[in-house]
Amino acid sequence: MTTAIETKSLTKMYGSKTAVNSLNLSIKQGELFSLLGVNGAGKTTTIKMLSCLVLPTSGDAVLLGDSITADARAVKSKLNVSPQETAVARNLSVRENLELIAGIYGSDKKTSRMKAEEMLNTFSLTEVAKDKAKTLSGGMQRRLSIAMALITDPKILFLDEPTLGLDVLARRELWAAIQKLKGKITIILTTHYMEEAVSLSDRIGIMAKGQLKAVGTADELTTLTGSSNFEDAFVTLATHTEVIA
């Protein structure tokens, strides 16, 4: 498998505070990689650097052959982000939101309309296509948010805590939608939910205090720490002072 993302000592500092400390990570094309960590672990900052939203203080990352520091525009054309918040245009309809993003990424009117229709079907949003985004439930808004990220046919998709604040049913629906994408594009997902990471990911990276503590499958990480379940493994790794793997 080809490498989709390769980070090289990627570091971000805010003043004297180190948000991400010398991150070295390799993610394969088509992989669903989860970044897990407690609040302030550096997950969102990592995603922001990889999606060219903030400049790294030092180090670099190469996404499908392009460097985030040398050619951010080329990198941006290959990826899309579904941020932590729903990030939709409130007074625009569901369809208009989708067409807007397609248009911003350069699709003409006809193509935008066609792509929007496809996303409406894929994410079961057809019934609410004419509704304003602000009137949708939290779960529907999240689905729209991911559809907006996918309408540009990204090769790499960043999902920042996509199910945060959703009820169990809405979360399960969204998981099903994410499962369908597995293998087709590279997905980097951050989450606080262990069950989500275990259920969706090919591999999991655990971050704490800006450092990547361990990487592996859920089973590998559980075995590595000698824990009986993944949650215990996470606690061990997130509180461990040294990098394990």
Query: Which residues of the chain form contacts with another protein (CB under 8 A)?
Result: 14, 48, 51-55, 73, 76-77, 79-92, 96, 100-101, 103-106, 108-109, 132, 145, 148-149, 152, 158
Shortest distance, CB of residue 87 to another protein, whole angstroms?
A: 4
Residue among 48 and 115 whose Cβ is closer to another protein: 48
Shortest distance, CB of residue 85 to another protein, whole angstroms?
A: 4
Residue among 90 and 180 whose Cβ is closer to another protein: 90
Q: Which of 156, 151, 157 is nearest to 114 (CA)?
A: 151
Cβ–Cβ < 8 Å for 176, 183: no
Cβ–Cβ < 8 Å for 209, 179: no
CA distance 34 to 77: 22
Shortest distance, CB of residue 49 to another protein, whole angstroms?
A: 9
Shortest distance, CB of residue 145 to another protein, whole angstroms?
A: 8
Other CB atoms closer than 10 Å to residue 75's CB: what's the count? 22
Residue among 101 and 140 whose Cβ is closer to another protein: 101
DSSP 3-state assignment of 34? strand
CA distance 145 to 125: 11
Helix or strand run (H / E) with residue 238:
helix 230-239
Shortest distance, CB of residue 24 to another protein, whole angstroms?
A: 22
